[in-house]
Copies of this chain bind each other. A is one copy, B any other.
Amino acid sequence: MFNDFKLKDDSPVYVQLKDYIKDMIVNGHLLAHQKLPSTRELSRLLVVSRNTVLNAYAELEQDGMIYAVKGKGNFVGNVTTLKTAAIEFDWKTKLNKETLLADELDLIRQDLHWQRGMISFTSIAPEEKLFDVENFKRAFLTRMSIEGDIVLNYGYAKGYKPLIDYLLRYMEVKGVDISNKDILITNGFTEGLDIFLSSIAKKTGRVLCENPTHHAALKLFRLHGLDIHGFDMTDHGIDIDQVEKSLAELTYDFAYLIPSYHNPTGIVTSSEKRNAIIQLFSKHQIPIVEDGFNEELRYSSAHLAPLIAFSGAGNNVVYISSFSKILFPGLRVGWILADKELIACLESMKRARTIHTSTLDQAVLYQYLQDSYFEKYLKKARAVYKKKYELARQACNQYIPFSRMTGDGGLHLFIELEEGVDARRLLKKCYTKGVVFYPGDVFFTNGLGSNTLRLGFSRLSDEDIVHGIQMIGDTLKNDMGS
């Protein structure tokens, strides 16, 4: 740039320079608000006196072609240039159906917008007032002082080694045989599931799951064009007899299960059933994707081991989890624990798609766990959530005429109303009274569940929990006739 400046005639150099720059501006080679070289720099570059440049800039400023900012230098002004006639695509015609579907699925639940002051049971995100910000800062400063420069540079696709080692040990203590397994760090649970879905061969194109189940997983299944087969939830987990009947006739690419504090029902699959599930799917050679969702949120100190522990030295379970439902979801850190060879392939996919997960997030999370701030925080969080949980249960029992309520722990309860009661209609009525919840139908694989709703209580005060549930109950009893 500027290096093709040549003297054309014997008119003053500064005039020729001015015209040369003016020309570049009107031809769009220099654009509005773009910085010009300093006078010193340009005089050196063009081998002309600095005065020549100063004069040229002065003239350009008078012509309104450029403007000076004190202490910052000279900038190109807002000049209409000979730019291309702006072209306007209709981008929607250029996108594939999955993207338009994602857009559409996104809109589904945006019909009722939450507003300040409302009592919202929609969220199952952690209560940010509980966040242990001070110890998080400590963990950050510790890690930065140990290897700040490394934390800020490129890392490995597989993840931050100290965190991987920590999590392997963490899962081993849960009873998992990690001898033939490895961990890939992902941008939260969702990327973990998406990478798995992008990697597994769609031979039957069928996925087996609980019905209802996690709506974000359902969305990804649809985006990956999977044929979703949901099976009823009993109070102890998926209806294994239904599943067994189906497996006698059909096979599936994989099963997706949420054994602990299932989303949305909050049901915990019993150990007997966990055993039976592993037996059954092993017999039929079907891989299981286990969603570790909320596993940490146990309210009694003894806990069921994850499915992947029940499979022992087997490699048929792919365990995907994150701490996002308890600890700092703003940090997007999740992990896949699975067969070593599988992880190696998923790692290549991860590298190709997002290089690696934020080293900063991983390193600070590691330090926070390592300094056992996590255990302390978890104790506190459990006590708080347990209280809210019991309060919400009690209030539902007292105020809501349900036909079924499930939720063995975690951050939410699932309510089944009488047949025929429309939860979305109820939602509309409650909305006008300043109470919102999550309509249950979005969790169903087969369009059912119009009479169900999910109540997330993690971010509500005790008063709002009771008051909100009472309002829902009153609305049900009094306003649904009209």
Contact = CB atoms under 8 A, between A and B. Distances in A.
A332 to B, nearest CB: 5
Contacts of A354: 187-188, 190-191, 194, 332, 354
Contact of A348 (B41, B87, B102): B102
A330 B31 contact: no
B355 A102 contact: no
A347 to B, nearest CB: 8
A201 interface: yes
A270 B4 CA distance: 12
Interface in A424-455: none
Contact of A155 (B253, B330, B346): B330
A404 interface: no
A55 interface: no
A328 B154 CA distance: 8
Identical copies in the complex: 2
A25 B313 CA distance: 17
Given A34-B175, A175-B32, A345 B92 contact: yes
B352 A311 contact: no
Given A89-B315, A91-B342, A330-B154, A102 B352 contact: yes
A99 B348 contact: yes
A92 B309 CA distance: 23
A279 to B, nearest CB: 5
Given A29-B275, A358-B332, A95 B136 contact: no
Given A1-B304, A86-B312, 16 more contacts: A30-B271, A73-B301, A86-B315, A91-B341, A94-B200, A98-B349, A106-B352, A133-B144, A150-B330, A152-B329, A153-B328, A153-B330, A155-B330, A220-B353, A330-B359, A358-B360
